[in-house]
Chain A
C-alpha cells in the first residue's frame, strides 16, 4: 500500500515540468548564486570599493595613495583633483562602498587624525574592514610612518630627544628605500594565520550547499505534501477510508517518496558544488548520505505535518511560504549563521536548517568530532519522527470529523 502512494507522487512529479524544475533545477542554480555571493563575502574575495581624495598631497600621502592603488583586495576610484565633497557624494550615491579623505600629512598630528573614513550606514561594516586594511598597509608598506607615530608619542613624553628622533627617521627612510620591492620584509608581522582545512574553495561553499539543500528540501517537500490536501479535496481519502485501504500507508508512501526526492535534490546540489567548487562530499560519502537522509526525513515530515494541518491548498501555500522563509532566514540558509546576531544564532537551533547545516559541516569536515554530528542527526531524526506522528495523528483524527 505504501508503494502506490509513492508511485502517484513520482508520476505526478514526472508530468509536471514546473514542479520538476523546482525540485531538481532550481536548487543547484540557487546554490551557485548563493555560493558566488557568500563565498566572496565570507572568504578572501571581498573587494571593497574605495573613493579617495588626497587633500594634503604631501610625499607621505602620495605614498599612501599609491600603496592603496596597488592593493589587490581593494578597488579604488581616485582622481588627483578630487575634493572631500566629491568623495562624500560618491559614498552617498553608492558609487563606492566608502570614502577616504586624506586631510593632512600622516606625520602631522596637530589637526587631528589625518585620514578620515567616510562610511554609509547601510555599509557600515566597510568602515571597520577598511580601518583594518589601513593598519595593515601602513605596517607592511609604510613602517616608517607607523613608527613615526610611536616616536612622536615618545618624543612628546620626553622619552627621546629631537636629535634622536631625526636620526631614527632618517635610518628608517633609508631602510624603507632599500627593502622596497622585497616581499619578505613586508610579510613579517606579529600575526600569522593558517586554515584548519586544506585551502581549497570547497570548504568555503560547502556551508551553502547544505544551507541551500535544506531550504529546497523544505520547499519541495511542501510542494509534494500539498497533494495530501488535494487528495482530501478530491475525495480520494473518502474512497480509501470506505474501503480496506489505510491513510497511514498513504502518508508513509508520501514520506518515503519525499525522502527519496530530497536525497536526489541534495545530491544534485552537492554534485554541482563538487564539480565547480571542489566540495569533496564523495570522500565522506557515508556520513554525507546519512546526513542527507536525516535532513530529507526531517524536511519531508515537517512539510507533511504542515500540510495536513491546513484545510486548503491556498492556506498551505501561504503558511508554508511564511514558515520556510522564517526558518531558512533564522536557521542560516539565507545568510551565514556567523553573520547573525547571537540571539538569532541561538533561536536558529529551533529550526531544521541550523541542524542540517551543522550536520553537513560535521559530516564533510575531516577529523570533526562525531558527537557534533551525532547530536545533529539525533535532533533531525527526532524532528522527523515527531512531525510524522503529528501527521498520522491529524490524518486519522480527520476520519471522524
Chain B
C-alpha cells in the first residue's frame, strides 16, 4: 500500500489521465483529454475561464469521475480508492481556512481532520509554517492576515500531510509581487524535494517563470502541452513579432497602407504588429513604411510569448 512518506523518485509518473471525457448533462467539459504528471515537476495548466481547469483537478482528487476514460493517481483510481488521496493535497482557489481561527489553530485542525495523531501534529504544523514562512503570524486570526499571508497559510495547510502531489488552484490570485515571488520560491523548493505540482493559473508570467511544463486547455482537451520553450519553438519557429509604434494616430489612408503591409492594430491605436519570418522581412517592412512616409516612433522585434500561444490556441489575435 502507498504511504505518504514513501520516498519520491524524480521523473516517475504520478498521475495519468487517458482519453478522459466528461459531460455534465448535455454540456461537454472534457473531450479526450490526455495528461501525465511526473514526480519532481511543476505543471501549469492554462486556459480561459470555464475550460475545465478546476474540473480537471476534481477528477484528480476523485471528487468527480469521468464519463469515460481513465484517471490514475499513484497507480490507483482516486474516485474509487482512498489510497491516492493520502498522497495528495489540494490548495483551493479560495482561502479554505477558518477565518476566526489563528494560523496555528487552523493548521492543527486541518491536521486533525486529516487523521494526524496529536504527537506528530505539532512538528508537522511547525514544518508547514516554516516552508511557507508564516511562523511569525501563527497566532494571528486568519481574517486579520494580509492576502499574501492568507495564501501562504492556505498552502501550508496542504503541506501538513507531506503530499507527493500538490494541486494548486490559482494559488497567487490577489497577492502582491513580493508574496508571489516568495510563494514561487516555496513551490520550487517543494518541486526540488521531489513533489509533483499541478497548478492552474491565468498569470502567464507565473506559468513561464515557474512551470517545467505547461498545458493549455481548450475545447475540452490539451491543445498544447510541453515545456514553454518547446511550445514556442514548435509554434513560432524563428518568427518574431514586429511591433510598430507610430508617432501619431493614423488616418484612414495610412491604416489601409499598414494593413496592406500585413500589420494589424493592437489594443493601443498607435501600435501595430505583424509576424516577421526573419531579418529580411523586418528590413523590407521598415523600408516600406519609410516609402509611404509614415511617421514612426519606434519599430522593434519581440520574442514570441505565452500570450501569443494562448491567443493562437484560443483563436484570438494577441
A26 to B64, CA, bound (A): 44
Q: Contacting A244 at CB < 8 Å: which of B63, B101, B115?
A: B115
Contact status B85-A242, CB under 8 Å: yes
Contact status A242-B63, CB under 8 Å: yes
Chain B residues 73 to 113 lying within 8 A of chain A, measured CB to CB, are 82, 85-86, 88-98, 100-101, 105, 108-113
When C-beta atoms are compared, the residue in chain B nearest to A400 turns out to be B64
Contact status A245-B90, CB under 8 Å: no
Interface of A is mostly: helix
Contact status B100-A11, CB under 8 Å: yes
Q: Contacting B109 at CB < 8 Å: which of A7, A233, A238, A399?
A: A7
Digitize B215-228: 1 where CB-to-A-CB distance is under 8 Å, 0 elsewhere.
Answer: 00000000000000
Contact status B90-A244, CB under 8 Å: no
Chain A residues 249 to 278 lying within 8 A of chain B, measured CB to CB, are 249-250
Contact status A4-B88, CB under 8 Å: no
B157 within 8 A of A: yes
Q: Contacting A1 at CB < 8 Å: which of B64, B86, B115?
A: B115
A154 within 8 A of B: no
Indicate whether A11 sits within 8 Å of B115 (C-beta atoms), given known contacts A234-B94, A238-B92, A242-B85: no
- List residues of chain A with CB within 8 A of the CB of B93: 235
A145 within 8 A of B: no
Task: Quote the shortest CB–CB distance from B252 to chain A (angstroms).
Answer: 52
A240 within 8 A of B: yes
Contact status B113-A245, CB under 8 Å: yes
When C-beta atoms are compared, the residue in chain A nearest to B157 turns out to be A239
Indicate whether A234 sits within 8 Å of B89 (C-beta atoms), given known contacts A244-B161, A250-B113: no
Contact status A8-B101, CB under 8 Å: yes
Contact status A249-B64, CB under 8 Å: no
A80 within 8 A of B: no
- List residues of chain B with CB within 8 A of the CB of A16: 100
Q: Contacting B112 at CB < 8 Å: which of A4, A234, A239, A399?
A: A4
A12 within 8 A of B: yes
Task: Quote the shortest CB–CB distance from A243 to chain B (angstroms).
Answer: 5
Contact status A243-B112, CB under 8 Å: no
Contact status B110-A12, CB under 8 Å: no
Contact status B101-A243, CB under 8 Å: no
Number of interface residues of A (CB under 8 A): 26
Chain A residues 1 to 59 lying within 8 A of chain B, measured CB to CB, are 1, 3-5, 7-8, 11-12, 15-16
B33 within 8 A of A: no
A153 to B167, CA, bound (A): 98
- List residues of chain A with CB within 8 A of the CB of B114: 1, 240, 243-245
Q: Contacting B113 at CB < 8 Å: which of A5, A11, A234, A238?
A: A5
Chain B residues 155 to 200 lying within 8 A of chain A, measured CB to CB, are 157-158, 161, 163, 167
- List residues of chain B with CB within 8 A of the CB of A240: 113-114
- List residues of chain A with CB within 8 A of the CB of B61: 238, 241-242
Contact status B65-A400, CB under 8 Å: yes
Digitize A69-105: 1 where CB-to-B-CB distance is under 8 Å, 0 elsewhere.
Answer: 0000000000000000000000000000000000000
- List residues of chain B with CB within 8 A of the CB of A250: 113
- List residues of chain A with CB within 8 A of the CB of B141: 15
A236 within 8 A of B: yes
A238 to B97, CA, bound (A): 11
Q: Contacting A239 at CB < 8 Å: which of B62, B86, B100, B158?
A: B158
Digitize A387-401: 1 where CB-to-B-CB distance is under 8 Å, 0 elsewhere.
Answer: 000000000000110
Contact status B100-A15, CB under 8 Å: yes
Task: Quote the shortest CB–CB distance from B104 to chain A (angstroms).
Answer: 11
Q: Which of A3, A4, A12, A15 has the most CB of B within 10 A?
A: A4
Give A contacts to B, CB under 8 Å.
Answer: 1, 3-5, 7-8, 11-12, 15-16, 233-236, 238-245, 249-250, 399-400
Can you give 15 contacting A-B residue pairs, CB < 8 Å? A1-B112, A5-B109, A5-B113, A8-B109, A12-B101, A16-B100, A233-B94, A234-B95, A238-B92, A239-B158, A240-B114, A241-B62, A244-B82, A244-B114, A245-B114
